[in-house]
Structure 1
Amino acid sequence: MFPLPFTTPRTARYLLLGEPGPAISHVWICLHGHDQPVAGLARQLQNLDTPERLLVLPEALSRYSQPGTGPEAPTTQAAWFATDSLLADFDDLGTYLDALARQVLAACPPDTPLTVLGYGHGAAAACRWLANNGVDYSRLILCAPVFPAEIDRRATLVALPERPVLVVSTTTDTYTPEAAGEGLMQDLLDVGLSAQQRLVDATGPLPLAALAGNPES
């Protein structure tokens, strides 16, 4: 006995920091980490919330409630993929993010550059999405990236378009040695992508200088 696939429409959710419109000169699509509430990633990116930059934070499709501790209210968490349904989850991921990106970019000036940021498992989700879709983007940022063993990282990176990649590692990453970024950096360079790495302090919001590089990004 094994589960059979069945495709059905479903409603996704996302947060916006900023408003789509003629004043926007940069759009960022930012994918949260595994079990990370979207609002938590929004707090980490608050330094990027400027009038000319639109931040789009999609929530993964697999949502579930996490009980709070003590007086804390329950939180909603989500995951981009499950290890026993990777291919189907990646198809759903691509359909979802392709449509959301097109909708947001259509409400902004033509040729507005798109930056994609992935945090934790969101980095792996971002790479799989961009390696298998037609959405044009200008830069990819991978923060404390984690690629589960079930995902062929090298094969995913080989399929990425030739765009700059920034790996952002924190000084306190202890979840997995991979989050330090060394193996990922080597893979990026080996497949011929232009990649840089920066270290940041993980105790507060991610600094604009580390992510944007300059005020025009």
Structure 2
Amino acid sequence: MQLQHFTTTRTARYISLGEPGPGIQHIWICLHGREQNLLDFASQLVNLDTPERLLILPEGLSRYALPALETTPEAAATVASWFAPESVQVDLADLTTYLDGLSAQVLAACPPHTPVTVLGYGHGAAAACRWLAHGRTPYERLILYASIFPAEIDRQAVLASLPKQPVTVVTTTIDSFTPEVAGEGLVQDLQAAGLPAQLRYVSEGGLTLAALGAASEAPAEPSAARPATS
């Protein structure tokens, strides 16, 4: 018995907060965490939803329903993940094709040179790094929030392949996350890879504009060129 792979077309889902168009000055592509419901993730980002900012929230291709609790059967939710432990490399290759295609479609509908920020949350941080390291999507800034890199992904190798764009690592001052999301080691790895990285701490609460650096955004200059990507 031998496990085989076959490539086929998949239909993915995503949420758009805002609509592509000539008035968009900032594009955010936001990757959710492991086993996270996409609507729940979107509810954490509503404070970023402004007329000049477009948020694209892709859903992982591994979509499934969590078992409902007997006491609250109506609470069953559809969740998604970016990769499975036994098929990480295959899933990540599919992820790159998927996100590059979606991003190209979105960017084509917005003004040229619109700045792109990529946000990865939890396991979505690892997915974002792997995608940007091997994909073709141009971006100006990467934000890694409560980052978790599973053991199946070589973090240092992935970070070394990232374009030399600024990275903000956001971690929390509370104990609601496991110790692996502590950002100091990730910042050290980013800096060792030659990436400009900073660490930012947040307290309990939603993903605020200040925590993510959105409040200081400025529109791109019309003549600005997109940075080259690897």
Q: Which runs of 5+ in 2 are unaligned?
A: 219-230
Work out the CA distance in 2 between the residues paired with 1:173 and 1:26: 32
User: Does 1:153 find its partner at 2:155?
Assistant: yes
Aligned to 2:39: 39
Q: Report the Cα offset of residue 133 of structure 1.
A: 1.1
Q: Which runs of 5+ in 1 are unaligned?
A: none
Q: Report the Cα offset of residue 67 of structure 1.
A: 2.7
Q: Report the Cα offset of residue 175 of structure 1.
A: 3.9
Aligned to 1:99: 101
Contact kept, 8 Å, 1:46 with 1:205, in 2: the verdict is no
Q: Report the Cα offset of residue 182 of structure 1.
A: 1.4
- After TM superposition, list the pairs within 5 Å mapping 1:1-217 onto structure 2: 1-69=1-69, 70-71=71-72, 72-202=74-204, 204-216=205-217
Contact kept, 8 Å, 2:169 with 2:183, in 1: the verdict is yes
Contact kept, 8 Å, 1:144 with 1:173, in 2: the verdict is no
Q: C-alpha offsets along residues 108-127 of structure 1, whole Å, 9 cap, x if unaligned?
A: 11111110000000000000
SS at match of 1:199: strand
Q: What's the % identity of the aligned pairs?
A: 62
Q: Report the Cα offset of residue 3 of structure 1.
A: 1.6
Q: Report the Cα offset of residue 178 of structure 1.
A: 2.0
TM-score scaled by length of structure 1: 0.95
Work out the CA distance in 2 between the residues paired with 1:46 and 1:215: 17
Q: Report the Cα offset of residue 215 of structure 1.
A: 3.9
SS at match of 1:39: helix
User: Could you say what the CA RMSD is over the residues aligned between the two structures, in angstroms?
Assistant: 1.3
TM-score scaled by length of structure 2: 0.90
Q: Report the Cα offset of residue 173 of structure 1.
A: 4.4
Q: C-alpha offsets along residues 55-99 of structure 1, whole Å, 9 cap, x if unaligned?
A: 000000000001333333310111101121111111100000000
Q: Report the Cα offset of residue 176 of structure 1.
A: 2.8
